[in-house]
Structure 1
Amino acid sequence: MIPLPPNAEILPDADAVAAAAAERLVALCESAPRSAIGVCLAGGSTPKRLYARLGAPDTRRRLPWNRLHWFFGDDRLVPWTDAASNVRMAREAFGDAPIPEGHLHGMDTHGTAEAGARAYAETLRAFYGASELDPARPLFDLVLLGLGEDGHTASLFPAKPALAERHAWTAPVPEAGLAPFVPRITLTVPALASARETLFLVTGAGKQEPLRRLARGEDLPARHVHSVGRLVWLVDREAAGA
């Protein structure tokens, strides 16, 4: 087995990772300190499994949908109807889940990445009710993240300016670090860190190499992410080499 980050849990497969993440969200909702519950969504195949589970009847009835607000950690500058859109992916995966109108907060991907980043920062501030983040009052109840084979997370890519941003909540990514090479918008490290709980969902043999590189101490984007609350890695056996 390869070395894993602190607070890592090894689970049998991708379905078990999705199930564990769903249970953590249910628990967070039960202990939420405010009426509105903020969840930051990730893109990718493993989170898609999670969203489908959340929208399925057995989990759906255990969630307070009228209190849940869904945000995005990043998205590509494509229409929401495009197959590459995280908004489209989430909508399709959630299925007929009872998400109230206005509770799925997609990024404005119709203009420039710079304009979209500014607009999404305002969306986040309006939800939070302040322009400065307070570690004692996290922006999100849950942040979901993946791990790219190059070590990126959200759209924070190696050696790109957005990775170094420590003041703004969002950042434009004019040039992505991998295909499709379209501009993106991403949340920054300080915004992603403002969470009661952060979950990295890591599945598949292709994630062994970035996990090894993290264990060697390489300066990958995922290493920059921290949390004012708990940070947990849910890793399946294939990714862990177990």
Structure 2
Amino acid sequence: MSTNPAGHRVLPDAEAVARAAAERLVGIAAAKQDRIGICLSGGSTPKLLYRLLAGPDFRDRLPWDRLHWFFGDERVGDGPEAGSNRRLAEEAFGDLVPRGRLHPIPTDGTPEACAASYAASLEAWYGADRLDPAKPLFDGVLLGLGEDGHTASLFPGKPEAGEGKAWVVAVPEAGLAPFVPRVSLALPALEATPLALFLVTGAGKRAPLARLAAGEDLPAGRVRAAGETVWLLDEAAAG
């Protein structure tokens, strides 16, 4: 029996995973003529992806003026970790992103206040405060898999992982280090897309993949995009 999730694709290494994800994003952009919303993830493989997108192989294949970049989660508060996912994207994309196209999660307040502010921003982008199954919130969502089975900042055993109505949730206590407060998109927002793309690399991800294959109810396994949920794995993760 396969220990990898349905919809998975095994690639040689993290570079190949990032390149495959970049091609999917180029495809999303080519299929639309108006604005495009992409929800970003944090971590080492997304960092590689963002550098690829801004590099010579992909930079000129993307309509940067029509791309809007959102975030699946963020560390908040007054610590040095706050805003790390925003900085990751800013450092990789540089001046390719026009003003007003990067939509970071606020970090200078309580998790609850930051979550409420970001929810309002998403509603303004969407044009409504309720999701319509016929109208995606995002055109693509990038996600990762934590070694404990979390995705975004939805951690196993935490109430936020079971939120079924709110788009954005405060995460006052993270399930893994660094144990700093966070804000995360909840499942309704993460699933409101035609494509959810998991980027999973490294041998440390074999255990959570096996737990998912065994049927364990982990947050990452709950994500079901309105369209397609794809898992891009490198050989080290796939085993």
| TM-score (structure 1 length as normaliser) | 0.95
Does 1:66 find its partner at 2:74? Answer: no
Question: Contact between 2:75 and 2:82, CA under 8 Å: does it hold in 1?
Answer: no
**Change over 3 Å in CA distance of 1:225–1:213 after alignment to 2:** same
Give the superposition deviation at 1:81: 7.2
- Per the alignment, residue 46 of structure 1 pairs with 45
Give the unaligned 5+ runs of structure 2: none
Secondary structure of the corresponding residue to residue 4 of structure 2: coil
- Per the alignment, residue 220 of structure 1 pairs with 218
Question: Contact between 2:77 and 2:109, CA under 8 Å: does it hold in 1?
Answer: no
Please tell me the residue identity of whatever aligns with 1:25. L
How many angstroms apart in 2 are the aligned matches of 1:56 and 1:36? 22
Question: Contact between 2:76 and 2:82, CA under 8 Å: does it hold in 1?
Answer: no
Aligned length: 239
| TM-score (structure 2 length as normaliser) | 0.96
How many angstroms apart in 1 are the aligned matches of 2:60 and 2:126? 26
Please tell me the residue identity of whatever aligns with 1:196. P
- Per the alignment, residue 22 of structure 1 pairs with 22
**Change over 3 Å in CA distance of 1:30–1:137 after alignment to 2:** same
Question: Contact between 1:77 and 1:182, CA under 8 Å: does it hold in 2?
Answer: yes
Give the unaligned 5+ runs of structure 1: none
Alignment of 1:140-151 (within 5 A): 140-151=138-149
Does 1:139 find its partner at 2:137? Answer: yes
Question: Contact between 2:38 and 2:139, CA under 8 Å: does it hold in 1?
Answer: yes
Give the superposition deviation at 1:93: 2.1
**Change over 3 Å in CA distance of 1:23–1:228 after alignment to 2:** same
Please tell me the residue identity of whatever aligns with 2:114. G
| Percent of matched pairs sharing the same residue | 61
Give the superposition deviation at 1:45: 0.4
Question: Contact between 1:78 and 1:85, CA under 8 Å: does it hold in 2?
Answer: no
How many angstroms apart in 1 are the aligned matches of 2:148 and 2:14? 20
RMSD of aligned residue pairs (Cα, Å) = 1.6
